[in-house]
Amino acid sequence: MKLLKSYGLTDRYINESSIYEGLRLARVIAQYKGLYKIITDNGERKAQISGKLRHETTELSKFPAVGDFVMVSYEKTEDTAVIHHILTRKSVFLRTAVGIKDQAQVVASNVDSVFICMSLNSNYNLNRLERYLSIAWDSGATPVIVLTKSDLCENLTQVIQEVEQVSFYSDIITTSMFENNIDKFKPYLKEGITAAFIGSSGVGKSTLINQMLEKSILETKETGKDDKGRHTTTGREMFPTILGGVVIDTPGMRELGVQSADLSRSFADIERLAQHCKFNDCSHTNEPGCAIQNALSEGRIDQRRLNSYIKLKNEASYEGLNSKQIESQKLERMFKEVGGMKNARKFAKKRKDG
């Protein structure tokens, strides 16, 4: 099991694998169209899912993904293994499946820590950070905030204070081109730990991972003059690091939606206030007895943070809907104060006829 342990294997999966007699334990370390790359104690192999697993699986999220521990069969002389079972996932990153209604797809699984990378140039955005945190908490992994390119920041102390407040004091790592960045990740990466790097394109994820691997496996590109990142990672792949743990590199956050974002963790202050609103379906805009609007007027929360919360909450409710259904929901929210869209139409008709 030595090779598999270098790819994050723990006793949990060793014990679960023992119930599948005649099959071998492996981990999915890369995913391609219709094919996987797995690591076994005999090294890397290509793999495909069994006909039975394909036939019995009706949801995309039930197919293997990078990070999964799986039970496989193969002969030593064969190039391709067959995946028969997926062991119980302890954490999952999901995205809305492209072109398939009401289906979610696993981006990565069995992640212990997620490094949320944000560079301290024009990429710095608290609303974006709140979105990342909501997705990270929902996955079941523990978020760690990585502020890259800190040498470009003129007010680093103030920025850290802002980030601490919106993250409810999640751990924060700052990196720059002038420091030994790898030592800062030692508390979070060791044998048996799997971490994922997420964030916008161009914030330096691939550069950090290359440093952890002590080799340039991932392609990197300079950020453009407008500070916009140039997308270099096109797939998901897992790598063992010099620190003992493994990391998963993912494409930019364009790939992750907010269909099941955990706002109760990233917006715990606002969610607590919402419990004291007069109405259970309060929109927190202009209803009487709104505890959140009261806190806003007293300066206990700020308008930017409230706007971010409402935007993410609305986006989460749109997931899985078609464009017509989304438009209908938006109109219902707009006309809620007059009793919904139907009453708004009646009101408009009365004015026209009157």
Confidence of residue 23 (pLDDT cuts 50, 70, 90): very high
User: How is residue 314 written in tokens?
Assistant: 């609305």
The residue assigned the tokens 């715990």 is 268
pLDDT tens-digit readout, 287-341: 889 998 998 888 888 888 888 888 887 776 545 444 444 344 444 444 444 444 4
Are the C-beta atoms of 287 and 165 separated by less than 8 Å?
no
Average pLDDT value for residue range 53-66: 90
The reported pTM is 0.73
Bridge partners, 249 (sequence order): 197, 237
Identify the pLDDT of residue 335.
Answer: 46
| Residue 3, token pair as written in the block | 């090779």
In 129-156, which positions are buried (b, 16+ CB within 10 angstroms) versus exposed (e)? bbbbbbbbbbbbbbbbbbbbbbeebeee
CA 121/CA 287 separation, integer angstroms = 38
Q: Which residue has the tokens 């294997």?
A: 9
pLDDT of residue 329: 43
Assess whether pLDDT exceeds 90 at residue 228: no
Of 102 and 36, more confident: 36
Alpha-helical regions (H) of 141-276: 156-167, 205-213, 263-266, 268-274
> What's the whole-number mean pLDDT along residues 227-247?
71
Token digits of residue 29? 């370390």
**pLDDT score of 341:** 46
Spatial CB neighbours of 34, under 8 Å, sequence gap ≥ 6:
48
* Domains in the chain, CATH or no CATH each: 2-88 (2.40.50.140), 108-255 (3.40.50.300), 263-353 (1.10.40.50)
Q: Taken in order 78, 80, 84, 88, is the CA torsion positive or negative?
A: positive
Cβ-contact 331, 341 below 8 angstroms: yes
pLDDT at residue number 100 = 58
Which amino acid is it at 116? I
Report CA Rg, the chain: 23
* pLDDT over 70 (residue 285): yes
